[in-house]
Structure 1
Amino acid sequence: MFSASLGRMDSTDDGGTTEGTHNTQSSTQTTKKRGATRMQKIIRQRNAFGKLQVELDGFEPVYGKAGNEFKSYVGLVARINTPITIKEWSDIPEDTKATIWKEILSTFDIPDTIDMKRHWLSYVGDRWKDFKTKLVNKYIYGQNPCQTYDFIEQETWNEFYQSHTGESYEATRKKYQDIQAKNIHPHLLARGGYKRLEKMMMDEKLKEQQALADADPSYTMSPPSPIRRVEKWKKARMDKSGNYRTDSTRVVAEKIDALELQISQGEFIEDGRKDSLTVALGTDEHCGRVRAMGRGHGIKSVFGHAKRRQKTPEDVQQLVDAAVGAAVGAAVAEALEKQKQENISEWEEFGQRITEQFEAKIASMMLQFSAMQTPLQPKQVTTVCVDAVPPPPSDKASSPDPFSNLPALGARCQLFLEDPIRRPVAYGTTYSGRQVHGVVLDVNNVKVSITDVGDPTAHVPFPTGEVKLVSDASQHFIVWPKKLVELCT
C-alpha cells in the first residue's frame, strides 16, 4: 500500500491535488488551496543521495528544519500506510508496523534499536489518530476527502463514514469532548511545541548575554542556565502581549511566582516531583508524561527514580500499635465466644492462658520492630567504574577519539578535576551532542550529566548562573573537558 501511494506521489507535481480544484484549466474562477503534504522533495533526495541525516537529542530530533522535515515525513507515513477503517492503533497488524518502521529507516539515518522503534511507532500512532480526527472534523459533513488524499479509496471512505456517524458515535464523541474540556490550561504552542519554545527562550538568554558583552568588553560569556519547566509552562500560555488566555491560568501563574519567591528566600524547598509547578497546579504528574517538557520525557527521565523512604521510629510505633490493636481485638472476640460455652471457672483459666500467650507474642514483636529502628546513614557513592578508558590528549589528532561514537542514550563515565592534582569528583553520563543549551561545544569538551556525586564541594570546570558546584549539577547538562572524562567499559 505504501509503495503504491509513493508511486502516485512521485508522479505528481509539487503542488499536488488541491482541495476544491478538479480542473484548474477549465475553470479560471476556482481558488487554488494548499493541498495534502506529500514530501516529494524528501523522497527525491532519498532516491538521489540515500538516507537523510537528522541530529537526535535522545529519541527526539534537534529542533530545526531537518527535525521538522523528519516529523512531517513520519506523519506522512502514518497517513498513507495505516488503514483509517481500523478503530484502535493496538489493532494494527504487526507486519504493517514493521513496514512503517522499515520505510522510516530507509529514508532517515537513525539508530535501529528497540527503544527507538517503540518511541517512533508510538508517534506514528498519535499522528494516525490525529489524521482520523481531522477527517471527522473537516470531511464527515463536508467535501469528499478522496479528492485531496488520493490514497483513500471511495470504498474505504464509505466504510469510515458509516462508522463515524449515528447516535452511538456521537455519544462517544461527546464523551471525549467533555474530557478535553477539563483541560483548563491549554498551551498556545505551534507545531514545534516545547522544543521550539525552549530554543526561542534560550536564544533570548544568549542575546541578553551578548548585549552585556557588547556593553562591557570585560564581561565573559558563559553557557546560559537551562530553561526550567515552570518557565516553559508559563511562557507557553502567554499570548504575544504577555497576557494569559484564561483567569484560571493567570491565578496559577501568580501562585508559581509566589512559590518562586519563597524558593529564593529559602522558605520553600523543591523535592523531586514536588516543585513549584506541581504545587501551584495542585495535581501530581501523570505517570506517562511530564508537563511542560514535551514528547519523549517521562517521570524517570526528568525527576529520576523515586527515593525510597526509610521507616522512622514514629512509623515503627504506629506499626506496633496497629499490631497490638489487631491482636487484642482477635483475642477479645475469641474470649467472648468461649464465654458463651464455658462456665466462669473455665473462662478464668482460658483468659489466663490467652494473656500469657498474648504477652509473649507482644514481646517477640517488640524485639523485631526495635531491630528496624536503625539510624539513617548518609548516602555514599558506591558505583565503581571498572576498566575506565582514559581519553587520549586532544592535541594528538592521529589518536582515535573515544567520544566520537557514543551510544544514542549516552555512556557511563567518571569525571575528574585537576586542581592541581588529578582526582575523581563524580560519576555521570556523557553524550554525543555538539551543543549544550544552544552553545556549540569546543572540540576538546564534551556534554555530560552527573548521576552520582563524589565531592559535592568541587567546582565544575565551566560554571553557569545555576550550576557552580558538582552538587548543583543534578539533572542538568553541563560541559566537561574530554581530558578529565574517563569512559567506563
Structure 2
Amino acid sequence: MSSSGGDSESASSKKKGRGPTNIKRVINKPNKEVKFDTLGRAVINDETTPFSTQLGVSVRAHVPIIYRQWPDVPDHIKKIVWQDLKLGWKLPDDNIDLQKEITSQMGVLFRRFRTTLNKDFLMKGKTPFGTYKSIEPSQWDAFVEYHQSEEFQNLSRQGKENQEKNLYPHLLGNRGYKGERFQKRLKERLKEIANETPIGG
C-alpha cells in the first residue's frame, strides 16, 4: 500500500486516522468470505455488494477529507481501513496483489466521497456533520477552502471537458460492467430454459 506523501488541504488538520471501531456494519456476522478472481476483483455473488458497501463505509469513517487525492493518504491510514475490513471479512494478509487491488478500490471510493461532499453539501450551502460524524469542522473548513480556490476550479473545468469527450460513461452502479454482464447472461439463460421446457412438462 504505497503513498506518495503529497500535500493535504491543511497540515494543521492532519489526523493519524482512527483505529478499527464499532462503526456501522453492513453485516453482523464476522468473517464472511468474498471470493476474488486473479485480478483481485470481487467475484459476483451474494456477498459482493455488501463488501463494496462496507469498503465505502470504512473509507468514509477512517480517511480524513483533508487529503485531496488518494496517493496523498498515508500508508498507516490505508492499513487501518484494511484492518477494519478484516473485522467482517476473511482477507488474506499474504496476498499482496489482492491488497493492492482493494487499496485501489478504496481510492476510487474516496474520490467519489469527496465529489459527493462537493455536490450534495458544499454547492448547496450545507454542512455534512449530521450525515457523516467522522468529519470534523477543521477538516470541512480546509475542504471548502480548497474547493473554492482557483486551482480546484481549473481542475474541475478540465475534468468536465474530459468527461464530455467520454463516449462510454460508467452508469452501471456497484455491480460494474462485470456484474452487468453476469446479470445479462443469467437472464438470457433463464429465457433459454423457459423456451426449452415443454408446456405442462
Equivalent of 1:94 in 75, 88, 98: 75
The answer for the alignment partner of 1:129 in structure 2 is 111
Letter in 2 for 1:94: D
Residue in 1 that maps onto 2:163 = 180
Which of 57, 62, 67 is residue 81 of structure 1 equivalent to?
A: 62
Bigger relative CO (Cα 8 Å, ≥ 6 apart): 2
Among 150, 154, 167, which residue is 2:137 paired with? 154
Residues in 1 aligned to 2:19 and 2:74: alpha-carbon distance in whole angstroms? 17
Aligned partners of 1:100 and 1:188: how far apart in 2? 27
What residue is the counterpart of 1:145 in the other structure?
128
Deviations 1:114-137 (A, max 9, x none): 101110001101101110111111
- Give the percent of matched residue pairs that are identical in Structure 1 and Structure 2: 24
**CA distance in structure 2 between the aligned counterparts of 1:187 and 1:159, rounded to whole angstroms:** 30
1:415-434 Cα shifts (integer Å, max 9, x gaps): xxxxxxxxxxxxxxxxxxxx
The 1-side partners of 2:72 and 2:150 are apart by 24
CA distance in 1, matches of 2:168, 2:177: 15
* Equivalent residue, structure 2, for 1:103: 84
Could you tell me which residue of structure 2 aligns to residue 202 of structure 1? Answer: 185
Q: Deviations over 1:61-81 (max 9, x none)?
A: 222331100011111111111
Shift of 1:193: 1.6
In the alignment, is residue 45 of structure 1 matched against residue 29 of structure 2?
A: yes
Q: CA deviation at 1:105?
A: 2.6
| Larger CA deviation: 103-112 vs 135-144 | 103-112
In the alignment, what sits opposite 2:7? none
Distance 2:82 2:111 in 1: 17
Seen in structure 2, the aligned counterparts of structure 1 residues 173 and 188 have a Cα distance that, compared at 3 Å, is: closer
Deviations 1:181-224 (A, max 9, x none): 111232542321212211222112312331343139xxxxxxxx
Residue 99 of structure 2 corresponds to: 117
1:2 correspondence with 2:18: yes
CA distance in 1, matches of 2:81, 2:157: 32
Match of 2:34 among 46, 51, 54: 54
Partner residue, 1:192: 175
Matches of 1:88 and 1:200, distance apart in 2: 33
Pair 1:85–1:55, CA change in 2 (3 A): same
1:326-341 matches, cutoff 5 A: none
Structure 1 residues 162 and 188, CA, compared in 2 at 3 Å: closer, same or farther?
closer
Question: Aligned partner of 1:146: which letter?
Answer: F
Specify the SS of the correspondent of 1:161: helix
CA distance in 2, matches of 1:87, 1:188: 24
Partners of 2:59 and 2:106 within 8 A in 1: yes
2:49 maps to 1:68: yes
Aligned to 1:387: none
Counterpart residue identity of residue 121, structure 2: Y
TM-score w.r.t. the length of structure 1 is 0.35
- Which structure would you say has the larger Rg? 1
- In 1, are the aligned partners of 2:19 and 2:80 still within 8 Å (CA)? no
Q: Which runs of 4+ in 1 moved over 6 A?
A: none
AA at the equivalent of 1:116? L
3-state SS of the aligned residue for 2:173? coil
Q: Which has the higher helix share?
A: 2
What is the distance in 2 between the residues matched to 1:55 and 1:117?
A: 13
CA distance in 2, matches of 1:171, 1:52: 44
Partners of 2:56 and 2:84 lie apart in 1 by 12
CA gap of 1:2–1:45, structure 2 versus 1, over 3 A, is farther
Shift of 1:45: 2.4
Q: TM-score, normalised to structure 2's length?
A: 0.80
Deviations 1:295-339 (A, max 9, x none): xxxxxxxxxxxxxxxxxxxxxxxxxxxxxxxxxxxxxxxxxxxxx
CA separation in 2, counterparts of 1:122 and 1:76?
A: 15
Gaps of 5+ in 1: 10-37, 217-489
Distance, in Å, in 2 between the alignment partners of 1:210 and 1:116 is 37
Give the direction of change, closer, same or farther, for the CA distance of 1:88–1:188 in structure 2 (3 Å limit): closer
